[in-house]
Amino acid sequence: MLTISSSDVIKKPSFVTRPTEITFIEDAKQHITRSVVLPYELYEKVKEKIEDELYLFNNKKALSAASNDAFMEIESVCEELAR
């Protein structure tokens, strides 16, 4: 894993356009990680999991707390049945 600053991206854009490893891009002033760049081969392996997590995250924002809890119970049962 590689950690670079946002100014490093300007100096060497290949960190983002052709990553060879997982790259964390941090804010140059605050030193807080703001972005993560994955090599495409790794992205292909985790793509479905990322999409599942984004779906759950977006539903959590759209539903009330009680509705989200009910959804999470149903969702976990559906995952088990799908296996």
On whether both 11 and 33 belong to a single domain, the answer is yes
Cβ atoms of residues 66 and 75 within 8 Å: no
On whether both 71 and 46 belong to a single domain, the answer is yes
Domain housing 23 = 2-37
Global pTM reads 0.61
Of residues 61 and 9, more confidently modeled: 9
Of residues 19 and 78, more confidently modeled: 19
With cut-offs at 50, 70 and 90, classify the pLDDT of residue 52. Answer: confident
On whether both 77 and 48 belong to a single domain, the answer is yes
On whether both 74 and 51 belong to a single domain, the answer is yes
Q: Is 29 helix (H, G, I), strand (E, B) or coil?
A: coil
Q: Tell me the average pLDDT of the chain.
A: 85
Beta strands (DSSP E) in the chain are 2-5, 23-26, 33-37
